[in-house]
């Protein structure tokens, strides 16, 4: 399902899982992990998100680099991997994830249409800067916004307010794009016009249809929906 929207103050993207492929780090070292590579990557991502939610729910905070490292420790231990050098290589690779092939073309098309583009991410500033530069996305973004100054993670409402503050606009003037359904839910509840990037065509969840969140299968759809 897709839905057109009017002129937006900015198109704001989640980074990890939306513009950046979170499984690229393990993919680069899959040969060293063997047949359990996919399972390690899936658990790493699941624990990374789980820890961010628990920290926020408890009023605590560790930056996303630390959360990512702790999650990897658990994923490796769960699969009996005790290779310190591999752990360091995986963490290094996570800081330089590949962009999805449709990311740069979509950002380029939106900017050519005169639209501001930004990232709003759980990543800490240094981690994000390294990631967008390595992925070649830095020149295509007007802002890279991190939760770090707030010391809270998505889906806290204060996180989404970082975008409205940056672009001096109301929530409905932000088009928000995320490949994470839970993030799309939080953004829609805040009042953004949400486009849930459902690359894997999984069933809808988090009441997104009730919240009128549009569903897209690729970032290539965005320019036609959003460009004035």
Q: Supply the residues annotated as catalytic.
A: 14
Give the end-to-end CA distance of the chain in Å, rounded to a whole number. Answer: 20
**Distance separating alpha carbons of residues 91 and 102, to the nearest angstrom:** 24
**Distance separating alpha carbons of residues 98 and 135, to the nearest angstrom:** 6
Q: Which of 103, 131, 133 is nearest to 222 (CA)?
A: 103
| 193-197 β-sheet, strand order | 143-146, 117-121, 10-13, 174-178, 193-197, 214-216
Which class for 131: exposed (0-12), middle (13-18), buried (19 or more C-beta within 10 A)?
A: buried
Is the previous residue joined to 155 through a cis bond, with omega within 30 degrees of 0? yes
Q: Are 127 and 135 in contact (CB under 8 A)?
A: no
DSSP 7-22: --SEEEE-SBTTTB-T
DSSP 73-84: HHHHHHTT---H
């Amino acid at each position: 399902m897709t839905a057109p929207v009017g002129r937006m103050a900015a198109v704001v993207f989640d980074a990890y899982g939306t513009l950046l492929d979170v499984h690229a780090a393990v993919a680069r070292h899959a040969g060293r992990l063997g047949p359990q590579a996919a399972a390690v990557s899936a658990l790493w991502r699941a624990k990374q998100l789980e820890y961010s939610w628990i920290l926020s729910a408890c009023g605590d905070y560790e930056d996303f680099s630390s959360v990512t490292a702790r999650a990897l420790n658990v994923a490796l231990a769960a699969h009996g991997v005790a290779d310190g050098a591999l752990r360091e290589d995986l963490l290094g690779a996570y800081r330089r994830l590949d962009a999805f092939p449709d990311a740069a073309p979509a950002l380029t098309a939106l900017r050519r249409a005169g639209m501001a583009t930004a990232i709003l991410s759980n990543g800490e500033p240094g981690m994000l800067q390294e990631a967008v530069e390595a992925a070649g996305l830095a020149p295509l973004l007007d802002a890279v916004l991190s939760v770090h100054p707030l010391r809270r993670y998505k889906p806290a409402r204060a996180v989404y307010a970082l975008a409205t503050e940056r672009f001096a606009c109301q929530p409905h003037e932000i088009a928000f794009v995320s490949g994470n359904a839970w993030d799309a839910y939080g953004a829609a509840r805040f009042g953004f016009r949400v486009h849930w990037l459902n690359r894997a065509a999984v069933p809808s969840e988090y009441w997104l249809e009730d919240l009128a969140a549009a569903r897209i299968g690729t970032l290539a759809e965005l320019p036609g929906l959003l460009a004035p």
